[in-house]
Amino acid sequence: MKKIENTKIQLIGELPEDYSKPSKEELDNFREYISHFNWVDAKTFENFSPHQYILNFPCWKLKADGKCPGEKPDNCIPCKQIREEFEKWALFIRKYGERCKMLKTTYTVLCVDDKHYWTMGDPMNTTWVLNLAFINEPRRVPKLEWLDRITMPPLDT
């Protein structure tokens, strides 16, 4: 069996004290949002960087693929609402996330409870994937380098 490298989290930088954090309410709404999905295992990465994802497409992309549920151009209200909600939370992650470096790429990830969430850095119009992974995923091969230090308010118990 292949030896797994040290996956201990490394903390490097530190953010200014007035770094903005989401409110408890916003964070709970985020938890609520992400709890509704059937997250899909990213099979290609399962032995390297295990994570899960969901897909969400804007109306124009759904239309191009013949998958928009709206039959007329003005009949896309549900499809646009679903997308609006997705973009809101994708931007939330980019706003409040912290920098995490894996190999040569620095991601903006939002750590909530035991997982972190990220989109890639694409413009919102072509941001279709939302990922999650366990912060302390023991099967992850590359070491994560945390460039900031952010502690989110914990879930009420």
Site for Zn ion in 68-97 (CB under 5 A): 68, 70, 76, 79
- Residue spans of alpha helices (H) in 35-149: 59-64, 77-96
Residue 68 or residue 111: which is nearer to Zn ion going by CB? 68
Choose the binding region for Zn ion from 45-53, 57-65, 88-96, 98-106 (rule: CB under 5 A). 57-65
Cβ-Cβ contacts under 8 Å for 124 (sequence gap 6 or more): 87, 90, 91
Q: How far is the CB of 81 from Zn ion (least distance, A)?
A: 10
Residue 65 or residue 114: which is nearer to Zn ion going by CB? 65
Report how far Cα 8 is from the mean position of its chain's Cα atoms. Answer: 21
Residue 56 makes contact with Zn ion by CB under 5 A? no
Sign of CA dihedral 28, 34, 37, 43: negative
Choose the binding region for Zn ion from 67-75, 95-103, 115-123, 126-134 (rule: CB under 5 A). 67-75
Q: Are 142 and 106 in contact (CB under 8 A)?
A: no
Residue 79 or residue 100: which is nearer to Zn ion going by CB? 79
Q: Are 148 and 21 in contact (CB under 8 A)?
A: no
Size of the site for Zn ion (CB under 5 A): 5
Residue 49 or residue 56: which is nearer to Zn ion going by CB? 56
Select the residue interacting with Zn ion from 59, 102, 135, 150 (CB under 5 A): 59
Residue nearest to Zn ion (CB): 76
Q: Are 85 and 76 in contact (CB under 8 A)?
A: no
- 86 burial class (0-12, 13-18, 19+ CB within 10 angstroms)? buried
Residue 61 or residue 94: which is nearer to Zn ion going by CB? 61
Residues near Zn ion (CB under 5 A): 59, 68, 70, 76, 79
